[in-house]
Structure 1
Amino acid sequence: MSEEKPPSEEQVREALRAAPPLTLGSGPVEPVTTAAPEPSEVWPLPLGTAWVYYGEGNSGLTRPVILADGFNSGPSSLNDSWDYLDRRDYAFLTALRQRGRDVILVGFNERSASILDNADAVEAAVMRAVATRLGDARLTVGGFSMGGLVTRYALARMESRRIDHQTALYVSYDSPHRGAWIPIALQSFAHYIRKLNSAFSDQMNSPAAQQLLWQHIAEWQDQPATSKLRTEFLSALQQVGDWPRIPRLIGVANGVADGTGNGVRPGEPAFEGKGLSVLGSKLFTQSPGDRQLVANLRVVTPPPAKEVRTSGLPGIDGAPGGTLNSFEILANRFNALPPLLGFRSAAPIPSHSFVPAVSAVAVRDLDSDDNLYVDIDSLSPEESELDDFRCASRNEGHTRITEELCTWIMDRLPY
């Protein structure tokens, strides 16, 4: 194949089918091969699995801490979860067990399934922990990212049904209580390449993604709006009281509290196609204002590129909060393809704000720069829907496991 002759769509489809799926999510990009420690127990759950690790010195379930997995495509992996939560910057699971806490990791058969459905797995795990623990220590229940919303809904639903969950503390770790953000530029690109490979588009259109995302598009040319599935999810939350009322509610954010952004400026090129098959494709960071250009789309097809424009959105990519390296993931996936396919790409801006700090600590909506960049420290604590929260000392990766945030949580666990 000469450099001047682009590959056919069928060649591209075959290459993309053979490559790892192009999907976004926190945690490992590639599957982890190092095995997690052998669990003390494994519980089959409706729509999921719980992996149980007794705390040090415990001969059975004694002081349970239930932690639910976050969003991605496909099933939860114990190896991936253990690697992310205990072998990176801070060994959170080990620290919990050293304090005599039993760790129960709740995974889902399909992480992109509806939050309302996956709440069944959490409810089953809570009931089994209550039934099998030794003694009467009350539970801690929460989760990472989407897992914080699944557990929030599950506990509130149990209370609405008069089920005693015996939970003293609810914990969310960078959970998008007011919504998460994937740039419209990236969503449009995902849908634009659907006929070549649908994995990215399928993920963006999955039930959980639509429930989590503050703004969503189902087709590349759509205008961003609140998904019907998100509206239904928020209504279901409201029907069970929005939050559980019995436990104390705490949460942490991987973004700062003082309103300082992450340095990403609006209207800047974040992804650029360099190879012949994607030359002309360019994704920009979100700009406020009317008819702002956020993407030029061209993949394999002849030029010119298709334009995507938005109106009325804030400069959210640079907002303080937990970041996701979505542009970098896209460029890396393309650069891993055979060079002759012409997919060489660059990501001059690798990351964007994924869960703004105001969302993680439930103080403001995401619809304006004034809300996104507010000095949270200057607000009355009553503005948060949480009883207590902690923001990170810098803007960092979404659900990054740090000693700063984890020790703050552990110091608030019930006795």
Structure 2
Amino acid sequence: MSTTEEQAAEAFQSAPPIILAPGPRKTDRIPPPPNDVWELPYGTAWVYHGEGNGQLTRPVLIADGFSTGPTDLGLTWELLEYGPFPLLSELRRRGRDVVLIGYHERSASILQNAEAVMKAVTTAIDRRSGEHPLVVGGFSMGGLVTRYALAKLETDGVEHQAQLYFSWDSPHTGAWIPIALQAFAHYIKKLHPGFSDQINSPAAQELLCQHIANWDDKPATSERRLAFLRALEEVGSWPQSRQLRLVALANAPATGEGNGIAPGNEAVTGKGLAVAGTELRTQSEGEDQLVAKLRVLTTSSREVRTSGLPDIDGAPGGTLPGFGILADALNEVAGFGVVNPIREHCFVPAVSAVSVREPATHDDLYTPIGDDELEEAPFHAVKFASQSETHTLVTEELSTWLLDQLP
């Protein structure tokens, strides 16, 4: 390895971790101090009383989603309050108490983090003034954490006293990280292990419909995901209390119209000395499809090919700027410069957010979702966005619909 390459390797090893998740915080506005803080098993909750409430009265419990490391509840507040629609302020204006639930480790198993939600539910019941029913739900992975938590409480014979469960762009039938990104993460593991560790974390494996543990693996459903699905089945798959309504929101349309990202196109291409020859492509359907060429401080590049996967990057669904997050991180390191013509990809397909189909084929993803399918879905009501948009984006369109569902 040349001196220049050694310098590039050292710079990359000391660079900040690459994390496929929202963040860091983008505003200097500091969230108000909570009225109360609850220490929970594997987590913490910040409690904000609604306007006119001197104590917990009409609780709305909101669980955090997936990332790496402990939840930054300040970032959670920012995403729910300082985006297109001030959801937290509107909840509180309507006299609702907001309980934001975070985890000590966001990439830990969904089953572990569900224990934080279960304790938050029983704590809310114990500390609530009056008998107003609870609202319990979450964004992204938080919708799965709360789904399992409520079902487990029912199985254990504990009355959760929730009258509404909501999931906001939650991957009930699986989330998607492009195989090209997963392969790159594992390929650089010796130099920069955090990215690979996130892809291989318990929560990631439980969420992803297709996973690889090493750069040259064949994509498949992880054994951890299969175990999680079995755990869901053991508690009835969904909470089933007669008083509980289940609703889902999707940051995508029901029309089957894709997000405009074409398959087989270059999304990240290496230009710097350390990564020249690297090429990450959007996913194509069919057999023996090239999705990545990998070269990082080596003499030659390696190819990654897939077979039997759909063109899922362009599917209708909540999007994640996964290619962009990687490109931005690489461009911060000398010798690792890349061009990045495609920043986003589908992360939670619309069919997954409303749990009507597995995202297995092109037709599964792109066929419009009809009323007959929704009648067979586990939800009492669903709300789709007008178009594919950023995963868990808190828009007025979706927020006002959710507010109208509150008991």
TM-score (norm 1): 0.95
Aligned residue in 2 for 1:249: 246
Aligned pair 1:22/2:18, yes or no?
Answer: yes
Residue pair 2:172, 2:354 contacting (<8 A) in 1 also = yes
**Separation of aligned partners in 1, 2:175 and 2:326:** 19
SS at structure 2 position matched to 1:15 = helix
- Report how far residue 8 of structure 1 moved: 3.2
**C-alpha offsets along residues 116-137 of structure 1, whole Å, 9 cap, x if unaligned?**
0111000000000001100000
Aligned residue in 2 for 1:345: 338
Q: How does 1:265-280 map to 2 (within 5 A)?
A: 265-280=262-277
Query: What amino acid maps onto 2:118 in structure 1?
Result: E
Q: How does 1:210-249 map to 2 (within 5 A)?
A: 210-246=205-241, 247-249=244-246
Aligned residue in 1 for 2:287: 290
Aligned pair 1:209/2:204, yes or no?
Answer: yes
Q: Out of 49, 55, 65, which is 1:60 matched to?
A: 55
Residue pair 1:41, 1:51 contacting (<8 A) in 2 also = yes
Aligned pair 1:181/2:137, yes or no?
Answer: no
Aligned pair 1:309/2:305, yes or no?
Answer: yes
**Separation of aligned partners in 2, 1:383 and 1:319:** 22
Aligned residue in 1 for 2:151: 156
**Separation of aligned partners in 2, 1:301 and 1:29:** 32
**Separation of aligned partners in 2, 1:69 and 1:76:** 7
SS at structure 2 position matched to 1:119 = helix
SS at structure 1 position matched to 2:99 = strand
Aligned residue in 1 for 2:323: 327
Q: How does 1:26-105 map to 2 (within 5 A)?
A: 27-29=22-24, 34-105=29-100
**Separation of aligned partners in 2, 1:381 and 1:222:** 36
Quickly say closer, same or farther: Cα 1:19–1:83, change in 2 above 3 A: same
Q: Out of 173, 183, 189, which is 1:194 matched to?
A: 189
TM-score (norm 2): 0.97
SS at structure 2 position matched to 1:295 = strand
**C-alpha offsets along residues 385-406 of structure 1, whole Å, 9 cap, x if unaligned?**
2111001001100001101101
Query: What amino acid maps onto 2:322 in structure 1?
Result: S
| Total equivalences in the alignment | 405
SS at structure 2 position matched to 1:8 = helix
**Separation of aligned partners in 2, 1:111 and 1:390:** 27
Aligned sequence identity (%): 56
CA RMSD of aligned residues (A): 1.4
**Separation of aligned partners in 1, 2:373 and 2:176:** 25
Q: 5+ unaligned residues in a row in structure 2: which ranges?
A: none
SS at structure 2 position matched to 1:111 = coil
Q: Out of 350, 364, 367, which is 2:357 matched to?
A: 364
Q: 5+ unaligned residues in a row in structure 1: which ranges?
A: none
